[in-house]
Structure 1
Amino acid sequence: MTYDTKSGTGGDQRTRARGMGLAAVRGLALALVSLPGAVLCFVLPLVSIALIPIGVGIVTTPWVLTGVRAFADWRRVLAAEWGGVRIPPAYRPLPKDANPWARTFGMLGDPATWRDLRWLPVDMTAGFVTALLPAVLLFYPLEGFAIAAGLWRVLPDGYWYGFVPVTGQASALGAAALGLGLLFIAHFYTPRLLQVHFQLTRAVLGAGQGELAERVRVLTETRQDAVDTSAAELRRIERDLHDGAQARLVAMGMDLGTIEMLVDKDPEKAKQLVAQARRSSVDALDELRDLVRGIHPPVLAERGLGDAVRALALRLPVASEVNVELSGRAEAPVESAAYFAVSEVLTNAVKHADADRIWIDLHHTYGRLRVTVTDNGKGGAVIGTGSGLAGIERRLGTFDGVLAVSSPAGGPTMVTMEIPCALS
């Protein structure tokens, strides 16, 4: 990580200028891309729903609404990454084997669907304006400066720059003064205006009381999954101790008892048993270390999540690249959940994806730990197909985390995990 050693007003001004330019570019991109997307996502569902009575909409509506949800989720991601505004989705799950009729009316009966459709008209009007304003405040003053520099000579009669009628050099200087004033306002308020856009998105797209109740139900289920998983883990530890290290220690005790009897009568046999007991002690120690590593790896406790993941990558039989940008450490339970989730994803990539290269990225932004594991394997990974991804989703759900998988046929596969947490 690099740190800016410069301080003072000059550094602050450069930082503010970079933030102003970034907010303007992002706002312009949002306005240009989201407006046609919102219009399309609003019109297509209306047409598809209107075609339900004749049967065509039964087939098309689930696909169209899935596209609307993807568009809304994309905006949720931008709100989190660009504005630090979290807008959690609250869609009701649908059975994987549901027929088109059940999927259509299941999605139409979901309050989150109608919330998305209500948000689209707002996004294409007020949302468009609030996204475009940062770019206007930054770029519109350039026209005023150009007018003062001589552009006024080629402008048509009756041209207005803002509220300034441009008729000659004096009024052109007035346009430049207005542009300077707008640029001064942009210097302080451009990032805040983009934040207003994301706050508006959350106000309309955010979950209501019903969706929050559904979220509580899901969290309750994940807590129960965590309890069940913990109980199963305790039984596994007990079984491993009983069948492994404990059995070896019992055998060592018996060998030592035999050695006591043979040390005077048969020293050679006693030496053999001593060597056997030594080997048993080494094996028992290795098993105990493996067991401890499976419960909470020492490198995780001592060095943190970044170094623990690097250690995992070093043990992989394929080439790997790890990028860590963490300014501190999360709480031990969060680190443990993230570590074992990454371990499971890496195991899947090696066993099932036929990958020969893996990229791992860890960073913390806007109060969330994000881990991305990408491989160049054959793809086709789906949550809930027995690949272990469903277990990872439950593990993360215990901490209100989420799992997203992008794995088209032919690859590559990208698994993204997010857990809300603070770093020490």
Structure 2
Amino acid sequence: MGRTLALLALAPVEVLLFGLLVTAISLLSIGLGVFLVPAVVIAVRGLLNIQRRCARNWSGVEIGDPYLPARETDTGGKGWLQRTMGLLSDPATWRDLLWMLVNPVVGVVLLVLPLSVFAYGLFGVSMPFLWEPIVDAGGNDWYVLVHVTNSGTALTAAVLGAPFMLLGYLMGPALLRVHARFAHGLLGPTEMARKVHHLTATRSDAVNTSAAELRRIERDLHDGAQARLVAMGMNLGVAERLLSKDPEAARTILADTRTASAKALNELRDLVRGIHPPVLADRGLADAVRALGMDSPLQVEVNAELPGRPEAPVESAMYFAVSESLTNAAKHGSARSVTVDLWYAEGMLRAQVMDDGAGGANPANGTGLRGMERRLATFDGVLALTSPVGGPTTLTMELPCALSSPKTSFS
């Protein structure tokens, strides 16, 4: 009952904020609303976030954040105008306004009903103490269908009042959940808002991941192949000057340069393999994962049932996710053997990596699981982890995609 009363106390505040917001919007025509709307909207969102927390904590109904991300704005008056227009262009702002209009009626009825039933039952239970003053004052001496005129009928009213009290008590949590569902319908995020949130997050992750990958490539080129090529150029210059004076020394330098060129070529091949492995492009995901297993220090068994090939970006994302899984199993899981299953079903490319390691994997420990989640989320994919202490660890990854040409396999 206390929770019901707490929610009822919010209704007058919602009515007040509804009037303030409508007034602020009406003042946009004279410019004053540009400064009032953001302040009132912030207050409205703060109040309705209380409603969302109450629904989650008291009724178990999770209501996500429905608001669009804040836009970057300029400074000064132009910034205030941009901020106001951004808030008013958010559908959630108008849904908040609708909630504050409807909830003081519909919500209050849902919340007052159990209180009324409980109070009516309490009145009946109290009838043995109240019937005489009520009758003496000429008041209503009926309770349900009982004409209360003496102690006996008052006791009957008390007996009838107890079930009403119980019913009101039981109705409270049930109607509180109904109110929470009602709040979810108006205060929860729309499908468009969920997509915007998801796309914003995945776009940010994709941009950050691409920037990190470019920095890695630049660093590897600068510290590896580029340095060797510079050294090769210098050696060739020295060899050119020594060719007529000391042919043996020039021959030695040329031999060292040939060795350095081979190392530079291997480094470039490794770099290209890290960007998009040739085996993946040439032979497909199944054989590329088998190649990973052959290079792994673990005993890797690969089972693949892929009737075709997914798009290249999806194929690459799954390849690197499996590669990271094998690396984690070897470095952090103390595993000896790993089983990798690849299959396609219901529009999903799926991979399951199970090792016999020590278990206890946790994304918070920085073992690369967060990066795998971000890589898959870019393509609306998901990662599920099961890793009890003592093992085994099972990673299941899903990527929505369509398969194109039949698979090509040389195994």
Q: TM-score range by the shorter chain?
A: 0.5 to 0.7
Q: Which residue does 2:209 correspond to in 1?
A: 229
Equivalent residue in structure 2 for 1:339, among 316, 319, 322? 319
Q: Which residue does 1:213 correspond to in 2?
A: 193
**Structure 1 residue 213 displacement after superposition:** 2.2
Q: Deviations over 1:81-124 (max 9, x none)?
A: xxxxxxxxxxxxxxxxxxxx999629835148xxxxxxxxxxxx
* Separation (CA, whole Å) in 1 of partners of 2:274 and 2:206: 17
Which amino acid in the other structure matches residue 290 of structure 2? R
Q: What pairs with 1:54-203 in structure 2 (closer than 5 Å)? A: 105=57, 108-111=60-63
* Separation (CA, whole Å) in 2 of partners of 1:280 and 1:385: 39
**Structure 1 residue 290 displacement after superposition:** 0.6
**Structure 1 residue 228 displacement after superposition:** 1.1
In structure 2, the CA distance between the partners of 1:107 and 1:242, relative to structure 1 (3 Å rule), is: farther
Whether the aligned pair in 2 keeps the contact of 1:262 and 1:269 (CA below 8 Å) is yes
Whether the aligned pair in 1 keeps the contact of 2:338 and 2:356 (CA below 8 Å) is yes
Q: Which residue does 1:137 correspond to in 2?
A: none
Q: Deviations over 1:196-216 (max 9, x none)?
A: xxxxxxxxxxxx863552343
Q: Deviations over 1:203-247 (max 9, x none)?
A: xxxxx8635523430232011110111011111111111111011
Q: Which residue does 1:292 correspond to in 2?
A: 272
**Structure 1 residue 396 displacement after superposition:** 0.3
* Separation (CA, whole Å) in 1 of partners of 2:292 and 2:55: 41
Q: Which residue does 1:392 correspond to in 2?
A: 372
* Separation (CA, whole Å) in 2 of partners of 1:340 and 1:245: 23
Which amino acid in the other structure matches residue 236 of structure 1? R
Which amino acid in the other structure matches residue 275 of structure 1? A
* Separation (CA, whole Å) in 2 of partners of 1:296 and 1:106: 50
In structure 2, the CA distance between the partners of 1:52 and 1:364, relative to structure 1 (3 Å rule), is: farther
Q: What pairs with 1:15-30 in structure 2 (closer than 5 Å)? A: none
- Higher-Rg structure is 2
In structure 2, the CA distance between the partners of 1:212 and 1:406, relative to structure 1 (3 Å rule), is: farther
Q: Secondary structure at the match of 1:265?
A: coil
* Separation (CA, whole Å) in 2 of partners of 1:51 and 1:374: 50
Q: Which residue does 1:311 correspond to in 2?
A: 291
Whether the aligned pair in 2 keeps the contact of 1:219 and 1:400 (CA below 8 Å) is no
Which amino acid in the other structure matches residue 354 of structure 1? S
In structure 2, the CA distance between the partners of 1:236 and 1:103, relative to structure 1 (3 Å rule), is: farther
**Structure 1 residue 318 displacement after superposition:** 1.6
Q: Is 1:365 aligned with 2:317? A: no
**Structure 1 residue 339 displacement after superposition:** 0.7
Q: Is 1:412 aligned with 2:392? A: yes
Q: Deviations over 1:384-412 (max 9, x none)?
A: 32111111001000000000001111111
Q: Is 1:247 aligned with 2:227? A: yes
Which amino acid in the other structure matches residue 62 of structure 2? D
Whether the aligned pair in 1 keeps the contact of 2:280 and 2:287 (CA below 8 Å) is yes
Q: Deviations over 1:347-366 (max 9, x none)?
A: 00111111111000000111
Q: Secondary structure at the match of 1:373?
A: strand
In structure 2, the CA distance between the partners of 1:105 and 1:284, relative to structure 1 (3 Å rule), is: same
Whether the aligned pair in 2 keeps the contact of 1:361 and 1:371 (CA below 8 Å) is yes
Which amino acid in the other structure matches residue 218 of structure 2? E
**Structure 1 residue 313 displacement after superposition:** 0.6
Q: Which residue does 2:258 correspond to in 1?
A: 278
Which amino acid in the other structure matches residue 295 of structure 1? I
Whether the aligned pair in 2 keeps the contact of 1:401 and 1:420 (CA below 8 Å) is yes
Q: Secondary structure at the match of 1:328?
A: coil
Whether the aligned pair in 1 keeps the contact of 2:306 and 2:344 (CA below 8 Å) is yes
In structure 2, the CA distance between the partners of 1:262 and 1:106, relative to structure 1 (3 Å rule), is: farther
Q: Secondary structure at the match of 1:304?
A: helix
Whether the aligned pair in 1 keeps the contact of 2:55 and 2:63 (CA below 8 Å) is no
Unpaired segments of 5 or more residues in structure 2? Answer: 5-52, 65-187, 405-411
Whether the aligned pair in 1 keeps the contact of 2:63 and 2:189 (CA below 8 Å) is no
Q: Secondary structure at the match of 2:307?
A: coil
What TM-score do you get using the length of structure 2 for normalisation? 0.54
Whether the aligned pair in 2 keeps the contact of 1:219 and 1:397 (CA below 8 Å) is no
In structure 2, the CA distance between the partners of 1:304 and 1:269, relative to structure 1 (3 Å rule), is: same
* Separation (CA, whole Å) in 1 of partners of 2:377 and 2:59: 23
Q: Secondary structure at the match of 1:264?
A: coil
Which amino acid in the other structure matches residue 296 of structure 1? H
* Separation (CA, whole Å) in 2 of partners of 1:406 and 1:212: 31
Whether the aligned pair in 2 keeps the contact of 1:360 and 1:374 (CA below 8 Å) is yes
Q: Which residue does 2:44 correspond to in 1?
A: none
Q: Deviations over 1:321-343 (max 9, x none)?
A: 10010111111111111111111
* Separation (CA, whole Å) in 2 of partners of 1:411 and 1:103: 37
**Structure 1 residue 414 displacement after superposition:** 0.6
* Separation (CA, whole Å) in 2 of partners of 1:245 and 1:403: 36
Q: Secondary structure at the match of 1:419?
A: strand
* Separation (CA, whole Å) in 2 of partners of 1:247 and 1:107: 64
Whether the aligned pair in 2 keeps the contact of 1:378 and 1:410 (CA below 8 Å) is yes
Q: Secondary structure at the match of 2:344?
A: strand
Unpaired segments of 5 or more residues in structure 1? Answer: 1-49, 54-100, 113-207
Question: Aligned-residue CA RMSD in angstroms?
Answer: 2.4
